[in-house]
Amino acid sequence: MPKQAVYPPGAPPALGPYTHAVRLGELLFCSGQVPIDPARPGGAIEGDIRAQTRRVLENVKLILDSQGLGFGDVVKTTVFMTNLAEFQGMNEIYADYFPAPYPARSTVQVSALPRGASVEIEIVAGFGAN
C-alpha cells in the first residue's frame, strides 16, 4: 500500500524537507507542529505556553480536517516542551481539544525547538478510530 503525502490547505509551510502528514492505509502520521500562525507574515511564534499550545493544536486541526478526521480519531500524541515546568498550562489547553477516551501520550523535555517555540506536538490518528 503506497503512502500518501498530506498538504492541507491553509497550513503553515513545512520548515524543512518533510510533509505535514503521511497517510498509510488507515493511519495518519502527522509531523510535529510548532506554533506557527499561517495568517501572520513570516509565521511568527508568539505568546505563552497556553497560546502556543492552542496554535499548535489549531495547526493539527487543519491537517485532521483535511482528511475528514477529528481529535477523537487521534490514538497517540508526542508532546515536546522546552520547559516541563509549564506542563500544567500546556495540559489545560490540550484537554480542551482531545475528548475521552484520550489518546496515548508521551511528553518529553527538549533543549530547543524550531524557531524558538516552547512546544511541538506530533500525532498519529486512525481512520475509523472514533
pLDDT digits (tens, 9 = 90+) for 58-100: 999 999 999 999 999 999 999 999 999 999 999 999 999 999 9
CATH number of the structural domain spanning residue 41: 3.30.1330.40
Please give the pLDDT value at position 111. 98
Asked if the model's pLDDT at residue 44 lies above 80, the reply is no
Q: What is the pTM of this model?
A: 0.94
Which domain range does residue 84 map to? Answer: 4-126
Asked if the model's pLDDT at residue 13 lies above 90, the reply is no
C-alpha dist (Å) from residue 57 to 25, 31, 78: 24, 12, 12
**β-pair partners for 105:** 77
Query: Strand, coil or helix: what is 93?
Result: helix
Task: Count structural domains, the chain.
Answer: 1
Alpha helices in 9-86 (DSSP H): 49-66
CA proximity to 4, closest of 31, 32, 25, 35: 25
